[in-house]
Amino acid sequence: VPDIVTMGKSIGNGHPVACVAATQPVARAFEATGVEYFNTFGGSPVSCAVGLAVLNVLEKEQLQDHATSVGSFLMELLGQQKIKHPIVGDVRGVGLFIGVDLIKDEATRTPATEEAAYLVSRLKENYVLLSTDGPGRNILKFKPPMCFSLDNARQVVAKLDAILTDMEEKVRSCETLRLQP
């Protein structure tokens, strides 16, 4: 268990809210030294109400369980892409926070940086917003909203599959052209 954790963004579902959670010894240390945290917007009743409303919806609609089950399904679909497309080096994640590692080849595991950027651009043209992460900017980040459905997962992976297939066909046609005298 960490001594101190900061949280933000999703707490307010679009409304600016953040919080800090700390163990009692850490909290007491601030108290003992007289250090007081001040923030112009700290303790806003509206922000607190928004945060509480978000927590109530999470609980009422069982969105954590939903994210776990849909995330597992999405991981399974993405795992099938790993089998089908050699560029997919790894699929990992928890719930709906998933990373897909794109590599140039299995032996060297060289990051497929340009391919990842191209894929993100093509997905954007197909109304799927992803970004890349990692030191090689070759990891596709899947972070959909908690209301993401099984159908949404199928649609996203179908678009991903189609673009990866198209990329592979273009590479094969280039290799064929280079091999011809």
Provide the b/e sequence for 51-70 (b: ≥16 CB within 10 Å): beebeeebeeeebeebbeeb
Low-confidence ranges of the chain (pLDDT < 70): 37-38, 41, 175-181
Residue 89's φ and ψ, nearest 5 degrees, are -90, -30
Model pLDDT, residue 91: 98
pTM metric for this prediction: 0.80
CA 52 vs. chain centroid, Å, equals 24
CATH match of 63-179 with 3.90.1150.10 = yes
Q: Break the chain into its structural domains and give their ranges.
A: 4-60, 63-179
